Structure 1
Amino acid sequence: MVQRIEIEAHLAALLAVDRFKDYGPNGLQVEGKNRVQTLVSGVTASLALIDAAIAAGADAILVHHGLFWRGQDGRLTGWLRERVARLLAHDISLFAYHLPLDAHAELGNNAQLGRQLGLAADARFGEQDLGFIGAAPVGPAVWDARVLAAHVAERLQRSPVLLPGDGRPLHRVAWCTGGAQGYFEAAIAAGADAFLTGEISEPQAHIARETGVAFLACGHHATERYGAPAVGAHLAEHFGLAHQFIEIENPA
């Protein structure tokens, strides 16, 4: 077992929480019991994840998407009340880390997605240095956007939305998980031939056509499945905790 406050302090230092301007609070969002022996990690603090964590005997839950976001009015009603009530009834702590969990150089969503896809970053770009960029994968043939899309589909078990650009050979690939479609222009400025993220909005189709740089929307959840379990495994090893990653299916 380990004290909850030790986990909170360790994660604050590990993920450099104070460095980020974020959309919600990072760290302990719901306070549970003082000591933690069993940890569950997941992508989002949904009711399904909370109920699965209760069934698994969790003392704490670690997620990327927490409960509280900028712009909420603060009332505990409806779905938010149900989630908080479950956590309090079972004395389970909820830890949530948004941008800090995206950015960590080894355990974060971007680093772990790169590992899944065989991409290694050699530079950062974009606001708060959240974007990763590196050389395209090396294979027996030259990679283009369609080859990359097929590779992504095979590795993530999800076919991306592909805007192939001008079909150029890929030398530099940039990526930023989740809803980072707004980083596309920064990726282009950083020298990318292709950019991968989770979501697509209306402007990216035009930008891809007009610049020739490929854009792949690979799924918000699909690209952010890897950071929380990596941090959970780190905590398990560091503190001697029992740890389980619980996948809650999400088509996003």
Structure 2
Amino acid sequence: MTTDSPAKPGVAREVLLSTCDHLLQPSLFKDYGPNGLQVEGRPVVRKLVSGVTASLALIDAAIEVGADTLLVHHGLFWRGQDGRITGWMRQRLSRLLSHDINLLAYHLPLDAHPTLGNNAQLALRLGVALLPHEQGRFGDQALGFMGLRSRATASQLAEHAQTVLGRSVLLVGEPARPVERVALCTGGAQGYFEAAIAAGADVFLTGEISEPQAHYARESGVAYIACGHHASERYGAPAVAGYVADQLGIEHLFIDIPNPA
């Protein structure tokens, strides 16, 4: 005769939320959407799944592994979007609600955390030693990070980023340019390039590039590396969720839904 193993005790949703808020300090940021709890599910959290975006594929994957809470970088609700619950929004919300899954989303706070955020985690993987906050931040809301890396060429850094991220990257600028001061701002941060140049960067590394930045790179001499929005932001959510899960004694699993963007 067998008996079911006892369920893990879990933690109250409010405790998880307050722990995340204390760590990420969302009130300090002017953001594009609400940070924190976006969809309310079960009151007790036992299994936390992290991912980059609250896509239908990630929600379904979380349901498959029995998660009761999702923590993501890109949530469901954004400033200025159509408020009607139709199409893709209806599909995602109906899955979350019917399976009683909490959705926590942290956007800019997850980029900005000094050790667990997207910028810091990408810098760690690329071997960039971040400078102290006073010297190592730039741009609006100090979201850009500056650090040092062993002197190399722009093409060598681009090749290293390509290997680390497992995808092709785009380098604009002189491939043989020596680079030491590396500016990072993950995701769609092409608008931070001019601030990175003003801050003394040799190279700017982000997720995306728009038409003007190619000209800025050629004319300023500062190299520009676009690594992909998703690829550059894969590391913050699991770092934060893993840290919080260890603190609270709950299970955590990171699920990466591939995205070519």
Do both share a fold (TM > 0.5)?
A: yes
Is the partner of 1:170 in helix, strand or coil? strand
| Aligned with residue 97 of structure 1, among 103, 106, 115 | 106
Quote the offset at 1:171 in angstroms: 2.2
Whether 2:110 is the aligned partner of 1:110: answer no
Cα distance in 2 for partners of 1:180, 1:135 equals 20
Q: Is the 8 A contact 2:72 2:104 kept in 1?
A: yes
Whether 2:135 is the aligned partner of 1:126: answer no
| Aligned with residue 224 of structure 2, among 211, 215, 218 | 215
Q: Which residue of 1 aligns with 2:5?
A: none
Cα distance in 2 for partners of 1:207, 1:166 equals 15
Cα distance in 2 for partners of 1:162, 1:244 equals 33
Q: Quickly say closer, same or farther: Cα 1:247–1:166, change in 2 above 3 A.
A: closer
Q: Amino acid of the residue matched to residue 77 of structure 2?
A: F
Quote the offset at 1:73 in angstroms: 2.1
Aligned length, in residue pairs: 248
Question: 1:229-240 to 2 correspondence within 5 Å?
Answer: 229-240=238-249
Q: Percent identity?
A: 65
Q: Is the 8 A contact 1:61 1:94 kept in 2?
A: yes
TM-score of the aligned structures, taking structure 1 as reference length: 0.97
TM-score of the aligned structures, taking structure 2 as reference length: 0.93
Is the partner of 2:253 in helix, strand or coil? strand
Q: Mind listing any 5+ residue stretches in structure 2 that lack a counterpart?
A: 1-9
| Aligned with residue 38 of structure 2, among 29, 32, 51 | 29
Q: Mind listing any 5+ residue stretches in structure 1 that lack a counterpart?
A: none
Q: Which residue of 2 aligns with 1:189?
A: 198
| Aligned with residue 58 of structure 1, among 27, 52, 67 | 67
Q: Which residue of 2 aligns with 1:206?
A: 215
Q: Amino acid of the residue matched to residue 200 of structure 1?
A: I
Q: Is the 8 A contact 1:165 1:215 kept in 2?
A: no
Backbone CA RMSD of aligned residues: 0.9
Q: Which residue of 2 aligns with 1:46?
A: 55
Is the partner of 1:196 in helix, strand or coil? strand
Q: Amino acid of the residue matched to residue 137 of structure 2?
A: R
Q: Is the 8 A contact 2:96 2:102 kept in 1?
A: yes
Q: Is the 8 A contact 2:47 2:69 kept in 1?
A: yes
Q: Which residue of 1 aligns with 2:148?
A: 135
Cα distance in 1 for partners of 2:175, 2:72 equals 38
Whether 2:251 is the aligned partner of 1:242: answer yes
